[in-house]
Structure 1
Amino acid sequence: MLLYHFEHVGDITDIDHSIRVLENALQLTPDGHPDKPSYLSTLGRALTYCFEHLSNITDIDNSIRVQENAVQVTSDSHCDKPHLLHNLSISLLHRFDHLSDITDMNKLISMLQDAVQLTPDGDPDKPVHLTSLGKTLWRHFECLGNITDIENSIKVQEDAVQLTPDGDPSKPGHLASLGNTLLCRFEHLGDITDIENSISVQENAVKLTPDSDPGKPGHLTRLGSTLFCCFEHLGNISDIDKSIRVQEDAMELTPHDDSGKPDDLSNLGNLLCCRFEHLGNITDIDNSIRMHMEAVKLTPDGNPSKPCCLSNLGNALARRFEHLGHITDIDHSIRVKENALRLTPDDDPNKPVYLSTLGSALTWCFERLGDITDINNSIRVKEDAVQLTPDGNPGKPGYLSNLGHSLLHCFERLGNITDIDNSIRVAEHAVQLTPDGSPDKPYCLSNLGGSLLSHFQHLGNITDLNSSIRVTEDAVKLTPDGHPSKAGYLTNLGGSLLYCFEHLGNITNQPIQLLFLLVTGSRHHISSVSNVPADLANHCPLGVVNGVADVH
């Protein structure tokens, strides 16, 4: 009764009293008593709750010990055994999250496998055990990278979905979990079928969840994130349009005073900003800024989400400045980003993101006003972002590439050869750290190509020009047809080829012939060159190419 009261009211005195009562009950209960496993398991739950509130490792150790005892004294044929195993796995997961001991992860996988095996298919708890096992296997994959884990995770979660009728209120949760795991496998292996299936099952989760269900906004938000991931990889504008629509639905279903409302507003603001970057519709960026301002307003300074809300607002303001050139926007962007940094401790995993994006805003300010202090500060904060990020972090290539971009601008303004050498060095590091299947790889390659081209323009080393052409061609090849960024990479490639033509004075090879036709002819002539991809011709602008498109 006391434990039940704690679960609903959260008074820590209830949990302390509950633990004492249960310990006394166990002392009075002989080992062979049929209720002893239940008392042990309940005591374990109480100790786990205590650990969640006080973070005393002794509590979770004792919780696991008494629950292991409950499991050991319960025969496999007993109907409560799967439930006891499942509860034990929850406590093991808490300790793993706290200590990161892989032994705990291996144990809880074993416990959940036993729970699944001991539960008949017709039991309503079977899908719950299967989904829990699937989530744990997914975590195991994230720890060790064994692809078998994520494949098994998907298999058992598919079983959970198949065993759960559509009318069961737990079905959307099983579908959402399966969708997340399919997305994870897509991000690691790049099989487009996985992300298509992820979207399909998450759409089903949304469809099966009534608007009155408090879990529906979460299902919508996850679906929106998956659609956006699909857009990032394939560049299909319809995906980001759908992502925005479902995020708007999530926001409408979330009460204004809900603690998750600022996150919903910020997510929608980010999506609108991204669509603006690709389509240039000023309404999108105005709405993005409005959403971010509302998110900031709803989030108190002491809230750990406040720096993220501020940084996102700064990003949107910087993008509008880049498009419209209003100095007030970039000044406002820099102020809110600096505020985000002041609220963020050095050990916060998001600090490098805030540093790097502040650096980008300072670079744009330098490009407009020419104040050398801005570009120096940009390089400084971007270097801090790189230094705070280990090589294995997926954000590191982006921070390196952004740093290279600022170093390139500094070189072009001051002519210090050290800056362009460092720009190439960090851009090469960014490329090395980025797998071919990553949607960021073309961006990193194109930035490297821009730095190499600038090095050639100032020093005249033909090796730099050839390398610039090679890496920019790779950026084009890795970018799907129809992707909004492909035209920019093609234009950068065209600029490098133009310099090659001007330097060598011949058009004997096909890329140079293509560029010559681009400068002097039409899309029809370009398309007539044999073996040239049609999409390359279609993206080539008419008229003379003057220089290289800016790399951002």
Structure 2
Amino acid sequence: MQSNVRFVLGGSYGDRYQRTGEVADLVEAIECNTRALELTPEGHPSLPDRHASLGMSYTDRYRRIGEVADLVKAIECDTRALKLTPDGHPSLADRYASLGGSYGDRYKRTGKVAYLIKAIECKNRALELTSDGHPRLPGRQASLGVSYIDRYQRTGEVADLVKAIECLTCALKLTPDGHPALPDRHANLGVSYTNRYRRTGEVADLVKAIECLTRALKLTPDGHPALPDRHANLGVSYTNRYRRTGEVADLVKAIECLTRALELTPGGHPSLPDRHASLGGSYGDRYERTGEVEDLVKAIECLTRALELTPDGHPDLPDRYASLGGSYGNQYRRTGEVADLVKAIECNTRALKLTPDGHPRLPCRHASLGVSYTDQYQRTGEVADLFKAIVCDTRALELTPDGHPDLPDRHASLGVSYTDRYRRTGEAADLARAIECHTRALALTPGGHPDLSKLLPAPHWSTS
């Protein structure tokens, strides 16, 4: 009797936490569920439910404060609950879904693909066991779609992105108006469209992303724990549109959204590094547009804080180094301070070393380091730096797939490096390569793109 009371009370605290985000309710939920499990004898038919409820509470606390120990306990509880649930039991789909969610969290923390594979396996099994018309079917579709997004972001496989959009579109269609999960459905689909835009450069996907994310924000009530995510995701999409169109209004909106997201994110929250990183990126964009030193200072402050808050081994660590390296590169070009150039090369080198083979951002890592070596060559005249720049730029181009929106930049950067080497050595072959690269960059840049004007003037090939 006492175990049942504690079990029910733990569920109530968990429900209240979901509504308010108050950690105190989550602590009470864990205490009640732990005690309920302790009071339940081996072999009792409620034992799987006890493990499952405690696992859910640990999952919620991990997602709130980021303690890996809670995630480990969640996986232990979810695994035990699944093992104790017999085939054909109506809760079997729930067991697979919960364990899949925990493995997904572990992948995001560690970057180990094995956990992502397990997450997708569990979520697929949960979906297979869920009948048409079941009220949890939309949630199953949505959860699987999120894992496909994660795998796409890790491997760059377009098939995963297609599956993600299919799952998330289906989840949204199956979710009735007024359902509390509707904001999540719009948000997840918006993130998928954002990813497809980044891969294809199709403005239609960017428009859909902003529509979905705007809708998600409007449907999320004040005080809801997901509100910071809503502002953050919408801010990132406005950043993407600014970078595509050059419209300053989008950059203003991006900074507003990202600033609000940071303000709403409590200290110690595992998403805090992301908030600083995204806002820092937008300040960097505004600096590049206006030349205002204050924006560059803010960018470096935000990106430095993001790096400080990101633990060793975290899969986002390469991004942190890469973003900070880019800002130090901008500061070097502004001030001419060699110390900033040294920091830029250090950060970009570290970012490249931490990025695994096959990662879709590997081309960016090579490209950024190539830019830093080009800066160093232009400062020192050391031919070794010029050769390193060409190696990096060449590798970045080789790794960038056809149709990728960054392809014009890759050709342009390599063209600049060949131009520098031609001016140094007088080799006609380098001049020919430079012209080929710049011509290709121009041909691949869509009309109306803000970078088009940078490519239109013919390069000055004279060595004088």
TM-score for the superposition, normalised by structure 2: 0.75
Equivalent of 1:230 in 180, 196, 199: 196
1:143-222, aligned counterparts within 5 Å? Answer: 164=132, 169-170=135-136, 172-173=138-139, 176=142, 190=158, 195=162, 202=168, 205-206=171-172, 209-210=175-176, 212-222=178-188
Equivalent of 1:451 in 410, 417, 436: 417
Judging changes above 3 Å, is the alpha-carbon distance between structure 1 residues 223 and 94 closer, same or farther for their aligned structure 2 residues? closer
Equivalent of 1:22 in 40, 44, 61: 40
Aligned amino acid, residue 90 of structure 2: H
Structure 1 residues 199-252: Cα deviation after superposition (integer angstroms, max 9, x where no partner): 577556445545532212211112222332333344333432332232222112
Equivalent of 1:340 in 291, 306, 310: 306
The CA deviation at 1:404 is: 0.8
1:403-414, aligned counterparts within 5 Å? Answer: 403-414=369-380
Aligned amino acid, residue 345 of structure 2: I
Aligned amino acid, residue 11 of structure 1: A
Separation in structure 2 between the aligned mates of residue 171 and residue 323 of structure 1, nearest angstrom? 46
Residue 75 of structure 2 contacts residue 103 of structure 2 at CA under 8 Å; is this kept in 1? Answer: no
State the SS of the aligned residue for 1:23: coil
Separation in structure 2 between the aligned mates of residue 214 and residue 107 of structure 1, nearest angstrom? 24
Q: Which residue of 1 aligns with 2:9?
A: 5
Quick check: 1:239 aligned with 2:239?
no
Judging changes above 3 Å, is the alpha-carbon distance between structure 1 residues 61 and 104 closer, same or farther for their aligned structure 2 residues? farther
Residue 93 of structure 1 contacts residue 105 of structure 1 at CA under 8 Å; is this kept in 2? Answer: no
Q: Which residue of 2 aligns with 1:133?
A: 125
Structure 1 residues 374-419: Cα deviation after superposition (integer angstroms, max 9, x where no partner): 2222222212222232323332321221111122122223322122
Separation in structure 2 between the aligned mates of residue 286 and residue 251 of structure 1, nearest angstrom? 17
Judging changes above 3 Å, is the alpha-carbon distance between structure 1 residues 435 and 487 closer, same or farther for their aligned structure 2 residues? same
Quick check: 1:83 aligned with 2:87?
no
The CA deviation at 1:358 is: 1.6
Separation in structure 2 between the aligned mates of residue 312 and residue 283 of structure 1, nearest angstrom? 17
Equivalent of 1:416 in 363, 382, 389: 382
Residue 52 of structure 2 contacts residue 77 of structure 2 at CA under 8 Å; is this kept in 1? Answer: no
Judging changes above 3 Å, is the alpha-carbon distance between structure 1 residues 484 and 175 closer, same or farther for their aligned structure 2 residues? farther
Separation in structure 1 between the aligned mates of residue 307 and residue 181 of structure 2, nearest angstrom? 32
The structure number with the bigger radius of gyration is: 1
Equivalent of 1:484 in 414, 427, 449: 449
The CA deviation at 1:450 is: 2.5
Q: Which residue of 1 aligns with 2:394?
A: 428
1:176-325, aligned counterparts within 5 Å? Answer: 176=142, 190=158, 195=162, 202=168, 205-206=171-172, 209-210=175-176, 212-325=178-291
State the SS of the aligned residue for 1:11: helix
Q: Which residue of 1 aligns with 2:365?
A: 399
Aligned amino acid, residue 239 of structure 1: D
Q: Which residue of 1 aligns with 2:316?
A: 350
Judging changes above 3 Å, is the alpha-carbon distance between structure 1 residues 213 and 416 closer, same or farther for their aligned structure 2 residues? same
Q: Which runs of 5+ in 2 are unaligned?
A: 14-27, 62-68
Aligned amino acid, residue 350 of structure 1: D
Q: Greater CA deviation, 257-266 or 423-432?
A: 423-432
Residue 211 of structure 1 contacts residue 253 of structure 1 at CA under 8 Å; is this kept in 2? Answer: no
Aligned amino acid, residue 279 of structure 1: T
Paired-residue identity, %? 25
Structure 1 residues 465-497: Cα deviation after superposition (integer angstroms, max 9, x where no partner): 3444555566667x58668378479649x64xx
Compare relative contact order (CA 8 Å, sep 6+) and give the higher one, 1 or 2. 2
Structure 1 residues 56-108: Cα deviation after superposition (integer angstroms, max 9, x where no partner): 9799669757864663xxxx7xxxx2436446645765886669897997899
Separation in structure 1 between the aligned mates of residue 46 and residue 229 of structure 2, nearest angstrom? 41
Q: Which runs of 5+ in 1 are unaligned?
A: 27-35, 113-130, 136-155, 504-552
The CA deviation at 1:428 is: 2.7
| Alignment coverage as a number of residue pairs | 430
Residue 82 of structure 2 contacts residue 96 of structure 2 at CA under 8 Å; is this kept in 1? Answer: no
Aligned amino acid, residue 392 of structure 1: G
Residue 92 of structure 1 contacts residue 104 of structure 1 at CA under 8 Å; is this kept in 2? Answer: no
Residue 326 of structure 2 contacts residue 368 of structure 2 at CA under 8 Å; is this kept in 1? Answer: yes
Superposed CA RMSD in Å reads 4.3
Judging changes above 3 Å, is the alpha-carbon distance between structure 1 residues 348 and 202 closer, same or farther for their aligned structure 2 residues? closer
